Amino acid sequence: VIGGDTRMSRGYSIMTRKGHKVTELTSRVTIASGGMQADVSTLHKLLKMRMEVFIEQHRKEMSLTSAAQMLSNTLYGRRFFPYYAFNVLAGLDSNDEGWVYGYDAVGSSERRRWACSGSAEPIIMPLLDNRLGKGNARGDANE
Protein backbone atom coordinates (compact mmCIF):
# COMPACT_ATOMS: atom_id res chain seq x y z
CA VAL A 1 0.00 0.00 0.00
CA ILE A 2 1.31 3.43 -0.87
CA GLY A 3 -0.48 6.69 -0.27
CA GLY A 4 -0.09 10.41 -0.03
CA ASP A 5 -2.19 13.43 0.61
CA THR A 6 -3.02 16.09 -1.95
CA ARG A 7 -2.17 19.13 0.17
CA MET A 8 0.73 21.36 -0.71
CA SER A 9 1.55 23.38 2.37
CA ARG A 10 4.15 25.65 3.86
CA GLY A 11 4.15 25.84 7.62
CA TYR A 12 0.53 26.09 8.70
CA SER A 13 -0.65 27.49 5.34
CA ILE A 14 -2.22 25.25 2.73
CA MET A 15 -1.32 26.47 -0.76
CA THR A 16 -3.53 23.95 -2.59
CA ARG A 17 -5.53 20.84 -1.87
CA LYS A 18 -4.98 19.46 -5.38
CA GLY A 19 -1.26 18.69 -5.40
CA HIS A 20 0.12 15.37 -6.65
CA LYS A 21 2.73 13.48 -4.66
CA VAL A 22 2.22 9.91 -5.91
CA THR A 23 3.00 8.70 -9.44
CA GLU A 24 2.63 5.22 -10.90
CA LEU A 25 5.83 4.54 -12.87
CA THR A 26 4.94 1.02 -14.06
CA SER A 27 2.23 -1.49 -13.23
CA ARG A 28 4.52 -2.77 -10.42
CA VAL A 29 6.37 0.38 -9.26
CA THR A 30 5.04 3.58 -7.69
CA ILE A 31 6.83 6.62 -6.28
CA ALA A 32 5.66 9.04 -3.61
CA SER A 33 7.61 12.21 -2.85
CA GLY A 34 7.59 15.06 -0.41
CA GLY A 35 9.52 18.29 -0.72
CA MET A 36 9.46 21.21 -3.14
CA GLN A 37 6.57 20.68 -5.55
CA ALA A 38 8.48 21.92 -8.62
CA ASP A 39 11.34 19.47 -8.00
CA VAL A 40 8.93 16.62 -7.20
CA SER A 41 6.99 17.23 -10.42
CA THR A 42 10.17 17.47 -12.51
CA LEU A 43 11.61 14.30 -10.98
CA HIS A 44 8.40 12.33 -11.53
CA LYS A 45 8.21 13.45 -15.17
CA LEU A 46 11.86 12.53 -15.74
CA LEU A 47 11.38 9.07 -14.22
CA LYS A 48 8.22 8.45 -16.28
CA MET A 49 10.10 9.44 -19.43
CA ARG A 50 12.99 7.12 -18.59
CA MET A 51 10.54 4.28 -17.94
CA GLU A 52 8.97 4.83 -21.37
CA VAL A 53 12.40 4.82 -23.04
CA PHE A 54 13.25 1.59 -21.22
CA ILE A 55 10.04 -0.05 -22.43
CA GLU A 56 10.77 1.04 -26.01
CA GLN A 57 14.31 -0.35 -25.88
CA HIS A 58 13.67 -3.59 -23.97
CA ARG A 59 10.01 -4.36 -24.72
CA LYS A 60 9.27 -4.94 -21.03
CA GLU A 61 8.71 -2.92 -17.89
CA MET A 62 11.58 -2.07 -15.59
CA SER A 63 11.83 -4.20 -12.45
CA LEU A 64 11.55 -2.74 -8.97
CA THR A 65 15.26 -3.18 -8.19
CA SER A 66 16.23 -1.56 -11.50
CA ALA A 67 13.84 1.34 -10.88
CA ALA A 68 15.29 1.76 -7.38
CA GLN A 69 18.83 1.91 -8.77
CA MET A 70 17.78 4.32 -11.53
CA LEU A 71 16.22 6.68 -8.97
CA SER A 72 19.33 6.49 -6.80
CA ASN A 73 21.58 7.28 -9.78
CA THR A 74 19.30 10.13 -10.88
CA LEU A 75 19.36 11.73 -7.43
CA TYR A 76 23.10 11.19 -6.98
CA GLY A 77 23.79 12.75 -10.38
CA ARG A 78 22.27 15.98 -9.06
CA ARG A 79 24.05 15.85 -5.68
CA PHE A 80 25.65 19.30 -6.04
CA PHE A 81 22.33 20.92 -6.92
CA PRO A 82 19.89 18.26 -5.66
CA TYR A 83 16.21 17.84 -6.24
CA TYR A 84 14.57 18.92 -3.00
CA ALA A 85 12.51 15.75 -2.94
CA PHE A 86 12.39 13.00 -0.37
CA ASN A 87 11.17 9.85 -2.04
CA VAL A 88 9.58 6.52 -1.24
CA LEU A 89 9.63 4.01 -4.09
CA ALA A 90 7.35 1.00 -3.61
CA GLY A 91 6.42 -1.99 -5.66
CA LEU A 92 6.51 -5.71 -6.26
CA ASP A 93 9.74 -7.52 -7.05
CA SER A 94 10.13 -10.51 -9.38
CA ASN A 95 8.90 -12.84 -6.58
CA ASP A 96 5.72 -10.75 -6.10
CA GLU A 97 6.94 -9.56 -2.70
CA GLY A 98 6.25 -5.99 -1.74
CA TRP A 99 9.26 -3.78 -0.95
CA VAL A 100 9.77 -0.12 -0.20
CA TYR A 101 12.88 1.97 -0.83
CA GLY A 102 13.34 5.14 1.22
CA TYR A 103 15.63 7.86 -0.19
CA ASP A 104 17.26 11.04 0.95
CA ALA A 105 17.77 14.01 -1.41
CA VAL A 106 21.11 12.76 -2.79
CA GLY A 107 20.13 9.18 -3.59
CA SER A 108 21.11 7.21 -0.51
CA SER A 109 18.51 4.47 -0.16
CA GLU A 110 17.43 1.68 2.11
CA ARG A 111 15.25 -1.30 1.17
CA ARG A 112 12.61 -1.87 3.82
CA ARG A 113 9.21 -3.43 4.36
CA TRP A 114 7.67 -0.03 5.20
CA ALA A 115 8.70 3.61 5.02
CA CYS A 116 7.30 7.10 5.11
CA SER A 117 8.47 10.55 4.16
CA GLY A 118 7.32 14.11 4.62
CA SER A 119 6.23 16.36 7.42
CA ALA A 120 4.20 13.63 9.16
CA GLU A 121 7.12 11.16 9.25
CA PRO A 122 7.92 11.71 12.96
CA ILE A 123 4.31 10.84 13.79
CA ILE A 124 3.71 7.98 11.35
CA MET A 125 7.00 6.03 11.53
CA PRO A 126 6.64 4.99 15.20
CA LEU A 127 3.10 3.85 14.41
CA LEU A 128 4.31 1.77 11.44
CA ASP A 129 7.13 0.29 13.52
CA ASN A 130 4.70 -0.67 16.25
CA ARG A 131 1.88 -2.04 14.10
CA LEU A 132 3.83 -3.60 11.22
CA GLY A 133 7.11 -4.40 12.93
CA LYS A 134 5.50 -5.35 16.20
CA GLY A 135 8.22 -3.31 17.90
CA ASN A 136 7.50 -1.70 21.26
CA ALA A 137 4.46 -3.93 21.69
CA ARG A 138 3.57 -5.23 25.12
CA GLY A 139 5.69 -8.21 26.07
CA ASP A 140 8.68 -7.29 23.87
CA ALA A 141 10.80 -6.36 26.87
CA ASN A 142 10.47 -9.86 28.27
CA GLU A 143 11.55 -11.62 25.07
CA–CA dist 56, 53 (Å, integer): 5
pLDDT (0 to 100) of residue 45: 96
Residue 86 · residue 107 · CB < 8 Å = no
pTM, rounded to two decimals: 0.83
Q: Which of 10-14, 59-63, 117-121 is least confident?
A: 10-14
- 9-56 pLDDT, tens digit each: 777 777 777 777 899 999 999 999 988 889 999 999 999 999 999 999
pLDDT (0 to 100) of residue 130: 86
Half-sphere exposure of 97 (CA within 13 A, CB side): 7
More confident residue, 18 or 116: 116
